[in-house]
Structure 1
Amino acid sequence: MKRRTGMLATGAAAFLLAVAVATPAEAAESSGCLTSDDGARGYWEGTPQDPTLVDPLHLAVLDTKRDGRHPAIRFVTKNYIGSTTYWPWHHNYDGHPNWKDWYGRAQSNDGMVRWTVQVANFDGSTRRSLCTAAWQS
């Protein structure tokens, strides 16, 4: 299986590029999903350090079909009052059957008490399918 790394996009809540170094501070969390059209599979794994920081954070997405579409993944968090933050999409344009990985951390002053990812299959800039992995807390 071929893995590639890429640059992280910056969103409203800071998603900072950093080399992931596992620390034993907290237990790691993870979840993933496959889109309904079977075109994209993705997962996240990370270690919540405190209510405002997940570090390290790893996102990975796979193009599972030769269909001319491309997969993308984004981190999703909920804070104490239930407000949801949708982090920026990270797109995999490397084609079937390639994985693409992003390593970094998620930090939000609004707090994060639940975490998941959304995985989508895009046709150009149009989202064709979407799945949301199981929430972790």
Structure 2
Amino acid sequence: MNKRMKAGLLAAGAGVFMVMGISPASAATYTAACHATGVNGSLYSTGWDYGEEKIPYISLVVSDSAADGHHVAIRLVTYGFAPDDVVYWPWHHYYGGNGGTGSWETSATTGRDLVGFAIQAATFEGSTRLNYCEDSAS
């Protein structure tokens, strides 16, 4: 095989690997949902694979389901390889009242490889968390 042919095959092979490496089909889709008195929370995420440090797309949705005068919130929780490597991300609060829904689109980069993530949804009285639910993304 001559040098020109070898170079052409190498370039073609590299192109195939580059296309495969950026294919959106290689990353999974994850969902989570939970309910506690007065609150419903859900998550939809794409683009993350086990062991990566960045979750490129996250949609968080929280709904207020009780006319109780409390507001609701949702947050992301990420898990690293070590048992104590847990990050509780800031709460996203929704103050619109019973029957209303708040939603946020975001991403998360931890700087450490992740093994999973979850959501927590809660009701609040001021800054005091009253009750909450949690569900791991799967």
**TM-score, scaled to structure 1:** 0.76
Aligned position for 1:44? 43
**Overall identity of the aligned pairs, in %:** 33
SS at match of 2:66: coil
Residue 27 of structure 1: how far off its partner (Å): 1.5
Structure 1 residue identity aligned to 2:33:
G
Return 5+ residue gaps in structure 2 as ranges: 1-23
Aligned position for 2:65? 64
Deviations 1:34-89 (A, max 9, x none): 11xx2010011112434111121000100001110011000001001121110000
Structure 1 residue identity aligned to 2:53:
T
**TM-score, scaled to structure 2:** 0.76
SS at match of 1:33: strand
Of 114, 117, 126, the residue aligned with 1:115 is 117
List structure 1 segments (4+ residues) > 4 angstroms apart after TM superposition: none
Aligned position for 1:16? none
SS at match of 2:28: coil
User: Is residue 40–residue 65 contact of structure 1 (8 Å, CA) maintained in 2?
Assistant: yes
Aligned length: 112
Residue 32 of structure 1: how far off its partner (Å): 1.1
Deviations 1:78-137 (A, max 9, x none): 00112111000000011111110000111111222111001110011111101111x236
Structure with more relative contact order (C-alpha pairs < 8 Å, separation 6 or more): 1
Q: Equivalents in 2 of 1:58, 1:80: separation in Å?
A: 24
Structure 1 residue identity aligned to 2:55:
V
Aligned position for 1:54? 55
Which structure features the higher share of helix residues? 2
User: Is residue 75–residue 119 contact of structure 2 (8 Å, CA) maintained in 1?
Assistant: yes
Structure 2 residue identity aligned to 1:75:
L
SS at match of 2:48: strand
Q: Equivalents in 2 of 1:54, 1:68: separation in Å?
A: 34
Spell out the pairing of 1:1-137 with structure 2 (5 A cutoff): 23-35=24-36, 38-50=37-49, 51-82=52-83, 83-133=85-135, 135-136=136-137
**Distance 1:46-1:86 versus aligned 2 partners, 3 A rule:** same
Q: Equivalents in 1 of 2:35, 2:117: separation in Å?
A: 17
Supply the RMSD in Å over aligned alpha carbons: 1.4
